[in-house]
Amino acid sequence: MKFALFAVALFTTLSLQRTLRYRTNQTDFSAPLQFKKDGTFQISILEDLHFGENAWDTWGPQQDINSVKVINKILDAEGPGLVVLNGDLITGENTYLENSTEYVDQIVGPLVDRGLSWASTYGNHDHSFNVTGATILARERRWPNARTTQMVFGDDPGVSNYYLPVYGPACASPDECAPELLLWFFDSRGGWRYQQKDADGNKVGQPDWVDFSVVNWFTQTNAELTNKHQKTIPSLAFVHIPTNASLALQEAGVDGHRQPGIDDDVPLAQQAQGWCPDGRDDGTCAYGGQDVPFMQAITTTPGLMAVFSGHDHGDTWCYRWDGVLPGMTVAGNGLHVCFGQHTGYGGYGSWERGSRQILVTQAQLKEEEKSVDTWIRLESGNVVGRVSLNATYGQDRYPPNAEH
């Protein structure tokens, strides 16, 4: 207990020092995201960090310290233009109401120290009785380099639904340029409703799929952007819990040479798992299908190249989704669906920690069949799973990942 309290106090002190330093000498993070002068834009995805586990003993705070070391190693090796915190930042069910969001300061400390900005999606463990997306967002926004925001409001949509435009290096003002890339962020919800109990005193569960109101916002907003700029803007998307398409692709078979990566979470856990089509979650149904509108939206959005998820710590592959898969009604259009790499020492699994990297180039976006490059940087410093998500991905052969 004394060790845990000391660790929390130490991190709080360091966070305060960072706040004072960066509030008095802060970078202008209201400036738009832009490609570098060499025409590249790189993203590092930190996945399933799970800070705050077992805060009452020595094990939990040590895992958070280990996770910070991973983040530092990844950022030193890669130097991205944006960091995406793709869900389950905090293990909410282990946190206390009074200090649940203070873990955000530990997570973003390495980013703030390097002057990097970040954007988050929230996962099922970020929505719990003592912490939720709204309280995490409020904590993130204390920092000048947080780009996480909320564009869809109400009781049902969740919080981290928004987009970020990325402009060319020569763009002097967003008012004068069209974005060259759009980054879409979605809240797949799940977990528990914040500070709510039913008549029997039980916590109230929350749906674990992208809400239909968010789907409508996404399709309408994308159409408005297309109309405004008179062109299809290439895009990427991030959501914590994968859709049912990922399960169908996994069941079709993950080939270590064509979809390199580990495939240990079998079957994986998809959106709407355990829900019934009529909205019941009483354990009588395997899958409710409530993510079908979201899958229809992402497969019919021109320019959307790939969707990146986490949640299943033991899956790290990418798959090109073509056609109709067994058990599915939504046809893939060549969209790439990818998992990241479990980054945090919190959460289940003993796979080596790491971070998926995404490299987008202006040259690739000008090609008729647009593509992006991606790889995984491990805590050891090794790089695995380097592939090009292009028109022939799934046909091209790659060296299989070493076990990690």
**pLDDT, tens digit, for every residue of 240-264?**
999 999 999 999 999 999 999 999 9
Cα–Cα distance between 167 and 148 in angstroms, integer?
Answer: 18
The pLDDT value recorded for residue 31 is 86
Per-residue pLDDT band at 127 (split at 50, 70, 90): very high
Extents of the domains making up the chain: 2-16+37-389
Binning pLDDT at 50, 70 and 90, where does residue 25 land?
very low
Quick one: pLDDT band at residue 40, thresholds 50, 70, 90? very high
Contact between 122 and 87 (Cβ < 8 Å): yes
Lay out the sheet containing 181-186: strands in order across: 33-34, 162-167, 181-186, 235-239, 304-309, 331-339, 318-324
Amino acid 24: pLDDT = 35
Helices (H), 29-151: 59-78, 103-113, 133-140
- Residue 29, pLDDT above cutoff 80: no
Kindly state the tokens that stand for 367.
């090609």
Run of H or E residues at 194: strand 192-197
Examine the pLDDT at 110 and tell me if it is beyond 50: yes
- Per-residue pLDDT band at 5 (split at 50, 70, 90): very low
Q: How far is CA 76 from the centre of its chain?
A: 20
Specify the pLDDT at position 397.
95
pLDDT digits (tens, 9 = 90+) for 336-358: 999 999 999 999 999 999 999 99
> Who contacts 314 (Cβ-Cβ below 8 Å, separation ≥6)?
262, 263, 264, 265, 342, 349, 351
pLDDT of residue 313: 98
Cβ neighbours around 201 below 10 Å, total? 6
In this prediction, residue 399 carries a pLDDT of 86
What's the pLDDT at 402?
A: 56
For residues 257 and 149, give the distance between their C-alpha atoms in angstroms, rounded to a whole number.
Answer: 38
Higher pLDDT, 109 or 30: 109
Name the least confident of 23-27, 157-161, 220-224, 400-404: 23-27
179-218 pLDDT, tens digit per residue, is 999 999 999 999 999 999 999 999 999 999 999 999 999 9
- Res. 299 pLDDT band, cuts 50 70 90: very high
Confidence of residue 403 (pLDDT cuts 50, 70, 90): low
Percent of the chain topping pLDDT 70: 92
Model confidence at 2, pLDDT cuts 50, 70, 90, reads: very low
**Binning pLDDT at 50, 70 and 90, where does residue 231 land?**
very high
Write the DSSP string, 364-394.
Answer: HHHSSS--EEEEEEETTS-EEEEEEESTTTT
d(CA 343, CA 236): 20
For residues 79-95, average pLDDT = 97
The pLDDT, as a whole number, for residue 404 is 57
Residue 14 has pLDDT above 70, yes or no: no
The CATH number of domain 2-16+37-389, selected from 3.50.50.60, 3.40.50.620, 3.60.21.10, 3.40.50.150: 3.60.21.10
Model confidence pLDDT, tens digit, residues 252-295: 999 999 999 999 999 999 999 999 999 999 889 999 999 999 99
Give the pLDDT confidence of 154-179 residue by residue, as tens digits.
989 999 999 999 999 999 888 889 99
Assess contact for 90 and 125: CB atoms under 8 A.
Answer: yes
- The stretch 107-113 carries a mean pLDDT of 97
Cα atoms in the Cβ-side hemisphere of radius 13 Å centred on 185:
26
pLDDT at residue 308 tops 90: yes
% of the chain at pLDDT higher than 90:
88
Average model confidence (pLDDT) for the chain? 92
Question: Which two tokens mark 71?
Answer: 């983040």
Measure the CA angle with vertex 356, ends 351 and 360; round to 5°.
Answer: 165
